[in-house]
Amino acid sequence: MGRIIYETATSFDGYLADEQHSLDWLFVVPGGDNPDLAPPRAAVQVMGSTTYEWVLDELGALENMNVWHETMPSTTVVFTTRQLPAPDDADVKFMSGDVADAVPELQRLAGEGNIWVVGGGGLASQFIAAQALDEMVFSVAPVALGAGAPLLSQRIESDQATLISVEQVGQFARLTYRLSYPNKD
């Protein structure tokens, strides 16, 4: 079975996006297009609906589904309580409710591959609450936003997260943490 990994870029004060859900601050960081910062190759990518709607909008994917197919090679699972559109023929599935209940189905979809939790921080935190997240990889940009969409929305103690690697990638510090769950059955 693959691993479940939350991988994202973040400001150094812990925001994924600014208050307008913009990533403009991220795209102007020198080295932000470095291939070493590319998202993991995963069999399944999982995101919340705000992130999904941002991606659809950014790619113009509903108007040009080829863009989706070129950019999003893996199965995409979107958590939402709403009915949302998907590009024609795109491998997009919608789920809702308790993440713990969804994990077996996500693992079935991923087979031996990894599951990439794209964000946001609330959804990633639900994977932690379900004791299902194995790893977190944060590419920290030299930017403070002051406010915005948080990297995580729940408390994690230091006996749960172990720093396993630190890498410099251009202007980003790429930090990898392994998670463990001392009280897991």
Ligand X SMILES: NC(=O)c1ccc[n+]([C@@H]2O[C@H](COP(=O)([O-])OP(=O)(O)OC[C@H]3O[C@@H](n4cnc5c(N)ncnc54)[C@H](OP(=O)(O)O)[C@@H]3O)[C@@H](O)[C@H]2O)c1
- Find the shortest distance in angstroms from Cβ 22 to ligand X: 8
Of residues 64 and 96, the one with the C-beta less far from ligand X:
96
Distance, CA of 112 to CA of 137 (rounded, Å): 20
Residue 26's contacts (CB-CB under 8 Å, 6 or more residues apart) are 9, 11, 32, 141, 143
Say if residues 140 and 175 touch (Cβ distance below 8 Å). yes
161: DSSP letter:
E
The tokens for 170 are 């251009």
Residues that bind ligand X (CB under 6 A): 8-10, 16-17, 21, 23, 26, 47-51, 54, 79-82, 96-97, 99, 118-123, 126, 149
- Find the shortest distance in angstroms from Cβ 112 to ligand X: 25
Beta bridge partners of 44: 75, 115
- Find the shortest distance in angstroms from Cβ 175 to ligand X: 14
Of residues 51 and 76, the one with the C-beta less far from ligand X:
51
Q: Is the four-CA dihedral 162, 45, 62, 33 of positive or negative sign?
A: positive
Of residues 87 and 121, the one with the C-beta less far from ligand X:
121
Of residues 113 and 127, the one with the C-beta less far from ligand X:
127
Q: Are strands 161-169 and 75-79 parallel, antiparallel or unpaired?
A: unpaired
- Find the shortest distance in angstroms from Cβ 23 to ligand X: 6
- Find the shortest distance in angstroms from Cβ 159 to ligand X: 26
83: DSSP letter:
-
Of residues 46 and 179, the one with the C-beta less far from ligand X:
46
The tokens for 104 are 């077996």
